[in-house]
Amino acid sequence: MTGRAEDGPVTVSAPFKRGNETRLTYDLKMAAWEWLYREAGCRVIGLEVKLEGPGGRIVDLAAVGPQNTFYIVEVKSSRSDFSRDDHTAGDLSALRGREGVVTGRTDLAKETLSQALEYAKLQSPDAWREVPAFRQALADYRRVAGKEDAYRNRVSSFSTKFHDPRFMGIADFHYLISPKGVVTRGSLPPQWGLLDETSAVSLPAPRKETRKNTGIVANFLRAIARSNTTSMMRSQGMSFLRGEAASRSGI
């Protein structure tokens, strides 16, 4: 992000940029922040907010507007980034349904390896590890076992966030922000709105009936305050561990 002074372009710093995020992602977050403040009238906004409760998870931006209206904005800088969260419960069920096929292949490879081991020890008791049949069976088993590990990791990290009723029930408005063309109106999940990189509304989000009481509002505000404290400390290079700063300074 750049500004322009009389003597030429001026680079704007990114004090709240996390080390693992791209400049595009950061700029999209700032564009969403600007929209939340200027257009939605939010005066309480947080980055990387960890929300509590059954539908709670970390969201890119959470905000509170007039009449305690809750907003959530998720940043998607690429189509692959968007696709990672754009799964339904049916997609997850179909993925889990493949477990029998995946484990069956591993079991077969394991049995083949066991048979190859017996054969190798009969053929060459002193050098059975070098028998080609055993080496091939071992390589096959490791390959198949690796695929099973990858499958289980995918199941454990498979996200249905955009279609999860619990997640959709924790805010009045849910928005995605992305560069133009990354998320289209046709691919936008139900009950979500869409912002572009200029902070313009491509498609407004429908308002949902969200249950609120004093405790829920307090928890939402507390989560934002906690995230902002963390962001401020990280931007200033402050320590998160008690006594660490003193030990670094030799006190």
Whole-number Å distance between alpha carbons of 178 and 25: 9
pLDDT surpasses 90 at 250: no
pTM: 0.78
User: Cα–Cα distances in Å, from 73 out to 32, 103, 129, 234, 247?
Assistant: 7, 39, 56, 22, 39
pLDDT in tens, 74-124: 999 999 999 999 999 999 999 999 999 999 999 999 999 999 999 999 999
In 3D space, the residue among 174, 166, 176 whose CA is nearest the CA of residue 211 turns out to be 166
pLDDT of residue 87: 95
By CB atoms closer than 10 A (0-12, 13-18, 19+), residue 102 is middle
pLDDT in tens, 186-197: 999 999 999 999
Residues 195 and 31: beta-carbon distance below 8 Å: yes
